[in-house]
Chains A and B, each alone.
Chain A
Amino acid sequence: VKYLDEFRDGDIAKRIAEEIHRITTRPWATMEVCDGQTHSIIRNGIDQILPAGIELIHGPGCPVCVTPLDVIDQALAIASRPEVTFCSFGDMLRVPGSGKDLFQVKSEGGDVRVVYSPLDAVRLAESFPDREVVFFGIGFETTAPANAMAVHVAKQQGLRNFSMLVSHVLVPPAIAAIMTSPRSRVQAFLAAGHVCAVMGLHQYPTSRAFARRSRHCAGVARCCRARSSRTHAPRSAGNARPARRSARRWSRARARVPRTTTTGASGMTTRR
């Protein structure tokens, strides 16, 4: 498949890392919003090749982790019913509710199935009219359109045995909450590009609006908008010095900045 290997090219990544080393002259507490980004960072060891002053804080953009406990408990209760075929994205199966997880429900005889698309659940409802097919509709802006499409298709087909347990969340309010929290040290976001591909950039406030609401630097929102302006947020005039010269400044600055926890400034913990 084209455009997969290109994004896995170690040499290109190393060159980009060198460029980041070259232009970075001060510490940055950066939050990657999406858990797919976190996964890639850890999987490839990107955190190890960035300058020491770039701190990566894992953000709230994991659709599985942010699904509220009571919704998971509802899912477990529904999936346990004998008349129900419960369909979910795969990684939701291991997330524990108050007592068990969907895997356990499945092992106890519940009809729990992993699907790649909510439309697969619609097809199941079509194929098994005597079953109540329930799809677990979770996620951010990126999964909502496909879930809406599944409801649309089910209605068009007049299916009476398809329903959805919905728990959708939005990215910009989460980013705004982090930025306006007095405890937050996040200075920049690696925003979720695929959310912008669905929603556009209009959801994000301008950097001036952010600056009014946040006590942090004015440039924070720039990375959210970097795709349109093609600017590098950490770069400003006169700071393109070799990384070695700024190392002492970093260590001084780091001494003032308390270490972060891996749960990130949002206080969200990962359940996986």
Chain B
Amino acid sequence: MIGRAGAARPHPPDSVIVEERRVPVKPQVQAACDLLGLDPWQVANEGKLVAIVAPEVADQVLARMQAHPLGRDAAIIGEVQAGRAGMVASRTALGATRVVPLPLGELLPRIC
């Protein structure tokens, strides 16, 4: 779930910043992707919901989602900020920032 900061401003360009550590990725998914040379952020992920909600109700929505058996791993993973329109950036585990690229065609395993 992504909180929408700066909603009061009239027309700011929107970008999304995601905290990598907060994105729930099951260990078995991560391990399989590592073995196959794929990035879990780029693999099709059916049956998932990404909600963009106002920050003042974010905790409330999160609590309701977590109360449901299918939503118990729900988490706030980032926020919408003023920035370059359409850009998604992520904060890595090291605290660095990187641009999250759009998937480019078919996913290809890396040789090394």
Residues of B within 8 A of A46 (CB): 94, 96
Q: How many residues of B contact A (CB 8 A)?
A: 22
Measured CB to CB, the nearest residue on chain B to A194 is B112
Residues of B within 8 A of A10 (CB): 21, 92-95
The answer for the CA separation of A34 and B110 in the assembled complex, in Å, is 13
Measured CB to CB, the nearest residue on chain B to A43 is B98
Could you tell me which residues of chain A, from 5 to 38, have a CB within 8 Å of some CB in chain B? Answer: 5, 8-10, 13-14, 17, 34-36
The answer for the CA separation of A42 and B106 in the assembled complex, in Å, is 21
Number of A-B contacts (CB under 8 A): 82
Q: Does A158 contact B (CB under 8 A)?
A: no
CB pair A142–B112 under 8 Å, yes or no, is yes
Q: Does A139 contact B (CB under 8 A)?
A: yes
CB pair B94–A49 under 8 Å, yes or no, is yes
Q: Is the interface of B mostly helix, strand, loop or mixed?
A: loop
The answer for the CA separation of A143 and B110 in the assembled complex, in Å, is 12
CB pair A49–B110 under 8 Å, yes or no, is no
Q: Does B70 contact A (CB under 8 A)?
A: no
Per a CB cutoff under 8 Å, which of A9, A48, A62, A93 touches B96? A48
CB pair B96–A45 under 8 Å, yes or no, is yes
Binding site for A on B (CB under 8 A): 21, 27, 30-31, 34-37, 92-98, 105-106, 108-112
Binding site for B on A (CB under 8 A): 1, 4-5, 8-10, 13-14, 17, 34-36, 39, 42-49, 61-64, 89-94, 103, 114, 116, 138-140, 142-143, 194
